[in-house]
Amino acid sequence: MKANIDVRELRNCFGKFATGITVITAVAPDGTKIGLTVNSFSSLSLDPPMILWSLDKKSKNLMVLENASHFAVNVLASDQMDISNNFARTSDEKFEGVELSPSQCDLPLLSGSVAHLECKKVNMVEGGDHVIFIGQVEHFEISNKKPLLYTNGQYTVAARHPLTKLPEPDDVEQKQHHSTDDFIVPLLLRSYWEISDPFYQELQGEGIPVAHARILVHLSHEAELTAPELAAAIRVDMASVSMSVNWLCDNGHLNKTDDDKLIISEKGLSHLNNVQSRAQRFENEVLDGYSDDDVEMLKGMLRKLIYRKNV
């Protein structure tokens, strides 16, 4: 007997389960790249390494994917909502302006994603009004970025549950090492490395040199510095600053006055906004799980240390 189920309400029920967002990409026999947004992705097996996802039988991409030997799963990052929307639409120009990463299987891999899985298609199974694709993972890459999530019909991001505790040192050596952290300079240095290294790696991975970003950030607060003044202010050697300044000037991010003062341009401000939006997202991830009072106390103490000579 067929159950009397309200399809609309059932869809809402399914939507209560939070999922990640992926873009499945493949290449048609004529070389055309295809991509579609999918949240039905799931791991299936570790040995052998297998995954699955499903596609509506009415999809115009079904025939291409049925005939493709390989496909890629691009797990989207929290700052890739526009990518998700782009590949969810019907268009022949989805890949226009989209940056791609190298692939070992000659598949379109979306740059900036949390993870890529390049898969050989090993099976297809009918599942009602969908076809379930099963793939064996041949290559994969991961990053430290946070994933984009979808639940209740809207995008969201992952956050640590407020009732969970931050991880404690789990062995004697770590505990002994932590017990020696009594001096402010080593603590500041280690915290800086722990926080900045993943962020700088992300910038580098997105084609944003760290030196360029630091120069733009500083000039947004203290305009009209010469290159030597800038080098002293950001504590970077003059040779590196000169190379970055030349590139930023040549590409229109900085302008020079008649007396060689550097001024950030409109293009530079746009580039800076990109860096700052990433920094804000990264800060939210780093401070996830700490209370507002803890965060404000931390920032307050750091400000006091920075400006202590003026207090």
- Is position 263 within any domain? yes
Q: What is the pLDDT at residue 173?
A: 47
Whether residues 98 and 185 share a domain: the answer is no
Angle at CA of residue 113, ends 110 and 119, nearest 5°? 65
SS3 33: strand
Is the pLDDT at 110 greater than 70? The verdict is yes
Give percent of the chain above pLDDT 70.
Answer: 88
Task: Flag whether pLDDT at 175 surpasses 60.
Answer: no
Q: How far apart are CA 65 and CA 36, in angstroms?
A: 11
Is 192 in the same domain as 239? Answer: yes
295-309 pLDDT per residue, tens: 889 888 888 887 776
Between 89-93, 166-170, 278-282, the lowest mean confidence (pLDDT) is in: 166-170
| Final residue belonging to a domain, choices 157, 186, 210 | 157
Q: Looking at 5-19, 122-136, 181-195, which range is the least confident one? A: 181-195
Domain that holds residue 274: 172-310
> What is the total count of domains within the chain?
2
Task: Check residue 162 and give its pLDDT.
Answer: 55
Q: Please indicate, yes or no, if residue 1 is contained in any of the structural domains.
A: no
User: Residue 96: what are its φ and ψ, rounded to 5°?
Assistant: -65, 120
80 found inside a domain: yes
Greater confidence (174 vs 45) lies with: 45
Residues 153 and 20 in one domain: yes
User: Domain boundary at 157, 184, 217, which?
Assistant: 157
- What does the pLDDT read at residue 156? 83
**Residue range 108-118: average pLDDT?**
94
CATH (domain of 220): 1.10.10.10
Q: Are residues 58 and 89 in the same domain?
A: yes
Would you state the pLDDT for residue 61?
A: 92
Examine residue 98 and state whether it is found in any structural domain, yes or no: yes
Q: Report which of 59, 2, 67, 17 is spatially closest to residue 36, judged by C-alpha positions.
A: 59
pLDDT at 311 over 80: no
For residues 226 and 119, membership in a common domain is answered with no
Residues 141 and 15 in one domain: yes
Q: Are strands 115-127 and 130-142 parallel, antiparallel or unpaired?
A: antiparallel
Q: How do residues 134-156 score in pLDDT, each as one tens digit?
A: 999 999 999 878 888 988 888 88
Residue 147 covered by a domain: yes
Tell me, what's the pLDDT at 152? Answer: 81
Whether residue 2 lies inside any domain: the answer is no
Q: Which of 99-103, 187-191, 206-210 has the lowest mean pLDDT?
A: 206-210
Q: Is the pLDDT of residue 194 over 60?
A: yes
Residues 136, 236, single domain; the answer is no
35 within 8 A of 87, measured Cβ to Cβ = yes
Domain of 102: which CATH number? 2.30.110.10
Q: What is the pLDDT of residue 83?
A: 93
The domain boundary, picked from 128, 157, 186, lies at 157
In a domain, 87, yes or no: yes
Per-residue model confidence (pLDDT) at position 139:
95
Contact 75, 25 (CB under 8 A): no
Mean pLDDT, residues 64-89 taken together: 93
Does residue 162 form part of some domain? Answer: no
* Closest C-alpha to 98, from 109, 106, 90, 114: 109
pLDDT at 230 over 90: no
Q: Give the best-scoring range by mean pLDDT among 41-50, 139-148, 217-226, 282-291.
A: 41-50
Q: What is the mean pLDDT of residues 49-58?
A: 95
132 and 252 within one domain: no
Is the domain of 131 the same as that of 209?
no
Q: What is the pLDDT of residues 277-294, one digit of tens each?
A: 878 877 877 787 788 888
Nearest to 207 by CA among 239, 251, 242, 237: 251
Distance in angstroms (rounded) separating the CA atoms of residues 256 and 258: 7
Mean pLDDT of 174-199: 70
Shared-domain flag, residues 61 and 178:
no
Average pLDDT over residues 42-50: 94
